[in-house]
Amino acid sequence: MNYAFHEHFMRMALREADKAAAAGEVPTGCVIIADPGEAPACLAAVRVLGRAHNQTEMLKDPTAHAEMLAITQAAAALGDFRLTGTILYVTKEPCAMCAGAIVLARIPTVVYGVPDPQRGGHSIFGILDHAALIHRATVVPGILADTCLERLQSFFRQRRETAREQASEDAL
């Protein structure tokens, strides 16, 4: 796939991340598509199997990461937990839990925006392409990385500002 193809679906994942941020969730979004093989002439013809954003706070569920929710949707859309023939797009590198689910779902290609240097399931733990596991994914990092990073930094900057304002009000 070419860079423009990946950018299109990463933008879709960024829209999901924006929904998460609006709900007070860490702004991570995920989209899973049916791999069309060669880049199609019309991107609108590509089948989106699942799309989600983080919902851990809303659902009070530590597993409600964007990737986990999108994987569940895609499996339901295909009627199978084996998501061979798909591409997963996510704005932030999957954590170890999500990387494990990606391996178990046998998703062949993972495209992410920004790496997670503290909890990265690929960069830190090597789960997505570990030789001892039943499946290895091809990883395409850095798609719209600057935009993905800006979303995360803006969210956490706003969260810190809100905490400071709250602390100032509490001190009065």
Residues marked active site are found at 67
Number of neighbours of residue 166 by Cβ within 10 angstroms: 10
Phi/psi-derived region of residue 37, left when phi > 0, alpha when psi is between -120 and 50, beta in every other case: left
Q: How far is CA 22 from CA 73, 74, 133, 151, 158, in A?
A: 22, 24, 37, 11, 12
How far apart CA 119 and CA 105 sit, in angstroms, is: 20
For 5-39, give one letter per residue: b (16+ CB within 10 A) or e. bbbbbbbbbbebbbbbbeeebbbbbbbbbbbbeee
